[in-house]
């Protein structure tokens, strides 16, 4: 009886430990699965202030971050990038769940928020730092981007200036640039109007996203 009691007591003591390990394992598995579901997409469409809002509105987009990509300077500042000497473009990097929003939907949103015919920049902002680019993170993204570019060229019946390039090192922009449309709504809208962005988008696509 003493041996049986000891065995029963040992099981009682071990149950909370086993249960805790099991719960911890399931939590880690769930976290890993959730993390695995999140995918990145990166687009350059002129001023990054204006590229966050359209993607933030999409269900399935977890986060958008303004930043810089495609240049040669490590961790550049806004002042450096805006000079047009670093090779970077202003971009928005998107974290999204492909089970909820497809990359094709992201591409459609991108095209309708840029002037794909402008090889000098975007709207009132000119220079290589404002050029339009699809930075692909996988071969699947590359294929879909190239296909969508061909569709846009057919739509306008002229060459599209937007580049399709492999994703490079991404450097987040300074904090005051993040979510600018939310933190400085009046200045943001004044900039959009003054830059002629909405007017040109309406001319190209029939309506302005804003």
Tell me the per-residue pLDDT of 8-51, one tens digit each, with 9 for 90 and over: 443 454 454 443 433 344 344 444 444 458 999 999 999 999 99
Provide the CATH number for the domain around residue 127: 3.30.1060.10
Is there a domain that residue 26 lies in? no
Is there a domain that residue 13 lies in? no
Is there a domain that residue 99 lies in? yes
Query: Which residues are marked as active site?
Result: 47
Is there a domain that residue 29 lies in? no
| Strands 89-96, 121-122: pairing kind | unpaired
Tally of structural domains, the chain: 1
The predicted-structure confidence for 70-98, as pLDDT tens digits, reads as follows: 999 999 999 999 999 999 999 999 999 99
Domain that holds residue 50: 37-205
Is there a domain that residue 144 lies in? yes
């Amino acid at each position: 009886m003493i041996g049986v009691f000891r065995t029963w007591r040992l099981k009682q003591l071990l149950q909370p430990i086993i249960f805790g390990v099991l719960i911890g394992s399931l939590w880690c598995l769930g976290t890993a699965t959730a993390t695995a579901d999140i995918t990145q997409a990166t687009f350059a469409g002129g001023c990054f202030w204006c590229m966050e809002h359209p993607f933030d509105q999409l269900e399935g987009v977890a986060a958008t971050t303004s930043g810089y990509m495609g240049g040669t300077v490590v961790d550049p500042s806004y002042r450096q990038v805006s000079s047009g000497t670093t090779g970077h473009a202003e971009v928005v990097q998107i974290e999204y769940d492909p089970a909820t929003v497809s990359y094709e939907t992201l591409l459609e949103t991108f095209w309708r928020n840029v002037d794909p015919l402008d090889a000098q920049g975007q709207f009132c902002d000119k220079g290589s730092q404002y050029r339009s680019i699809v930075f692909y993170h996988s071969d699947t993204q590359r294929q879909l981007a190239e296909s969508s570019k061909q569709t846009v060229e057919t739509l306008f019946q002229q060459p599209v200036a937007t580049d399709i390039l492999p994703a490079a090192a991404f450097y987040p922009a300074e904090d005051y640039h993040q979510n600018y449309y939310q933190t400085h709504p009046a200045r943001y809208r004044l900039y959009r109007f003054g830059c002629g962005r909405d007017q040109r988008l309406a001319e190209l696509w029939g309506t302005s996203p804003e």
